[in-house]
Structure 1
Amino acid sequence: MRVRALLVVVAMALGACGSGPVTTGEVLTWWDSYSTEPGSAAVETVLTRFEQQHPGVDVRRTSFGRDELRKRVDEAVTSGGLPDVAVVDTGDVARLAPAVVDLTARYGGWDSKLLDPVRRGVVVDGKSYGVPVRASTLALVRNRELVPEPPSTWDELRSVARGRTSGERAGLCFAGAGDALASGFLPVLWQAGGDVRDVGGAAGVAALSFVDGLRTDGSVPAGVADWDDAAAAEAFSLGRCAMLLAGPEVTPSANLAGLDWVSGPLPGGVPAPVRGETGVIGRGSAHVDLAWRLLTWVSDTRDNSTQLGGVLYALPDRADTVTDLGWQWDPNVAGFAEQLRASRPMAEYGPNYPRIATAVAAAARDVLEGRKAPAAAAEEAGRVVGPLTR
Structure 2
Amino acid sequence: MKKALSLFMMIVLVFGVLAACGPNRAEEPKETEPTDSATGEEPAKPEKLVVWEDKDKGIALKPAIESFEKEYGIKVEYKELNMADKIRDQLRLDGPAGNAPDVVTLPHDQIGQVVVEGLIDEIEVDQAVLDTFTEASVNAQMYDGKLYGLPKSTETPVFIYNKKLMPEPPATFDELYEFSKDFTKGDNYGFLALWDNFYFGYGIMGAYEGYVFNNENGALNRDDLGLNNEGAVEGAAYIQKWYKEGLFPKGIIGESGGSAMDGLFNEGKVAAVMNGPWAFQGMKDAGIDIGVAPLPTLPNGKPVNTFMGVKGWHVTAFTEHKYWATKLVEHITNADSAKQRFELTQEIPPVKSLIEDPIIADNEAAKAVAVQSSYAVAMPNIPEMGEVWGPMASALQQIASQKSEPKKALDSAVDTIKKQIETNHK
TM-score interval for Structure 1 and Structure 2 normalised by the shorter chain = 0.7 to 0.9
Report the equivalent of 1:245.
Answer: 274
Is it true that 1:298 corresponds to 2:298 in the alignment? no
One-letter amino acid of the counterpart of residue 31, structure 1:
W
Q: 1:362 aligns with which of 378, 394, 397?
A: 394
Report the equivalent of 2:20.
Answer: none
Report the equivalent of 1:9.
Answer: none
Q: 2:108 aligns with which of 77, 84, 90?
A: 90
Q: How does 1:89-238 map to 2 (within 5 A)?
A: 89-98=107-116, 99=118, 100-103=120-123, 105-175=124-194, 181-196=197-212, 197-224=225-252, 225-227=254-256, 235-238=264-267
Report the equivalent of 2:52.
Answer: 31
8 Å CA contact 1:176, 1:227 repeated in 2? no
Report the equivalent of 1:382.
Answer: 414
Report the equivalent of 1:58.
Answer: 76
One-letter amino acid of the counterpart of residue 375, structure 1:
K
8 Å CA contact 2:244, 2:400 repeated in 1? no
Taking a change above 3 Å as real, the CA distance of residues 233 and 71 of structure 1, as seen in their structure-2 partners, is farther
Percent of residue pairs bearing the same amino acid type: 16
Q: What 5-or-longer segments of structure 2 have no aligned partner? A: 1-34, 213-224
One-letter amino acid of the counterpart of residue 357, structure 1:
W
Is it true that 1:309 corresponds to 2:342 in the alignment? yes
Once residues 185 and 110 of structure 2 are traced to their aligned partners in structure 1, the CA distance between those partners, rounded to angstroms, is 39
Query: Shift of the alpha carbon at 1:372?
Result: 4.3
- The alignment partner of 2:131 has SS state of helix
- The alignment partner of 2:209 has SS state of coil
- The alignment partner of 1:275 has SS state of strand
Q: How does 1:8-27 map to 2 (within 5 A)?
A: 20-24=43-47, 26-27=48-49
Q: 1:259 aligns with which of 289, 296, 315?
A: 289
Report the equivalent of 2:363.
Answer: 330
Once residues 68 and 329 of structure 1 are traced to their aligned partners in structure 2, the CA distance between those partners, rounded to angstroms, is 35
Query: Shift of the alpha carbon at 1:226?
Result: 2.7
Query: Shift of the alpha carbon at 1:162?
Result: 3.6
Tell me the alpha carbon deviations over residues 31-64 of structure 1, each in whole angstroms, 9 at most, x when there is no partner.
34x324xx45434564466446554423231312
Query: Shift of the alpha carbon at 1:269?
Result: 2.1
Query: Shift of the alpha carbon at 1:220?
Result: 2.5
One-letter amino acid of the counterpart of residue 397, structure 2:
R
Once residues 231 and 46 of structure 1 are traced to their aligned partners in structure 2, the CA distance between those partners, rounded to angstroms, is 40
8 Å CA contact 2:158, 2:275 repeated in 1? yes
Q: Is 124-133 or 54-63 further displaced after alignment?
A: 54-63
- The alignment partner of 1:367 has SS state of helix
Once residues 375 and 78 of structure 1 are traced to their aligned partners in structure 2, the CA distance between those partners, rounded to angstroms, is 47
Once residues 353 and 239 of structure 2 are traced to their aligned partners in structure 1, the CA distance between those partners, rounded to angstroms, is 38
**What is the number of residues matched between the two proteins?**
364
8 Å CA contact 2:308, 2:378 repeated in 1? yes
- The alignment partner of 1:172 has SS state of strand
Q: What 5-or-longer segments of structure 1 have no aligned partner? A: 1-13
8 Å CA contact 1:161, 1:243 repeated in 2? no
- The alignment partner of 1:109 has SS state of helix
Query: Shift of the alpha carbon at 1:337?
Result: 1.2
Q: Is 286-295 or 58-67 further displaced after alignment?
A: 58-67
Query: Shift of the alpha carbon at 1:228?
Result: 7.7
8 Å CA contact 1:19, 1:293 repeated in 2? no
- The alignment partner of 1:141 has SS state of strand
Once residues 242 and 58 of structure 2 are traced to their aligned partners in structure 1, the CA distance between those partners, rounded to angstroms, is 38
Once residues 131 and 31 of structure 1 are traced to their aligned partners in structure 2, the CA distance between those partners, rounded to angstroms, is 15
Taking a change above 3 Å as real, the CA distance of residues 27 and 111 of structure 1, as seen in their structure-2 partners, is closer
- TM-score when normalising by structure 1: 0.79
Once residues 350 and 336 of structure 1 are traced to their aligned partners in structure 2, the CA distance between those partners, rounded to angstroms, is 25
Tell me the alpha carbon deviations over residues 77-124 of structure 1, each in whole angstroms, 9 at most, x when there is no partner.
898976422211112223333422111x32432111211111211122
Once residues 211 and 45 of structure 1 are traced to their aligned partners in structure 2, the CA distance between those partners, rounded to angstroms, is 45
Once residues 77 and 354 of structure 1 are traced to their aligned partners in structure 2, the CA distance between those partners, rounded to angstroms, is 24
Is it true that 1:278 corresponds to 2:312 in the alignment? yes
RMSD of equivalent CA atoms? 3.5
Is it true that 1:353 corresponds to 2:376 in the alignment? no
Report the equivalent of 1:6.
Answer: none
